[in-house]
Amino acid sequence: MTDADELEAFRAKLKAAGEPWQQRGVKVFFLGMAALLGAYLLPMVAPSSIYPLGALVLSMLLFGVSWGMMIKAAVGRRRWAKAHGPSPTDLPDAP
């Protein structure tokens, strides 16, 4: 097994450590963007200001949840990297 193979395996495992939360965070972020678009378009359709305000609050909540998921993915990757020692590219300095 070469150094390149070890490095690719390490990267794949590191990415997998936070992947589910990152994917969920991106999906929730796009749902927040859709809610924000709804908050922009609802005043044109609904004369009441309750629906656009509700969509705006929903989009802000979804943005916060998505950031939380992204942070959880980053923390998971960091914990995995600490638990599994240095990466294969961390070589000692040559004399």
Report yes or no on 71 lying in a domain.
Answer: yes
Report yes or no on 49 lying in a domain.
Answer: yes
Cα 78–18–2 angle (5° rounding)? 75
Instruction: Tell me the C-alpha distance between 38 and 58, whole Å.
Output: 10
Report yes or no on 72 lying in a domain.
Answer: yes
pTM recorded for the entire structure: 0.74
SS3 22: helix
Report yes or no on 74 lying in a domain.
Answer: yes
Question: What's the pLDDT tens digit per position in 62-83?
Answer: 999 999 999 998 898 888 888 8
Report yes or no on 27 lying in a domain.
Answer: yes
**DSSP category for residue 92:** P
Report yes or no on 61 lying in a domain.
Answer: yes
Question: What's the structural domain count of the chain?
Answer: 1
Question: What's the pLDDT tens digit per position in 17-65?
Answer: 778 888 899 999 999 999 999 999 988 887 888 888 999 999 999 999 9
- Structural domain including 45 reads 22-83
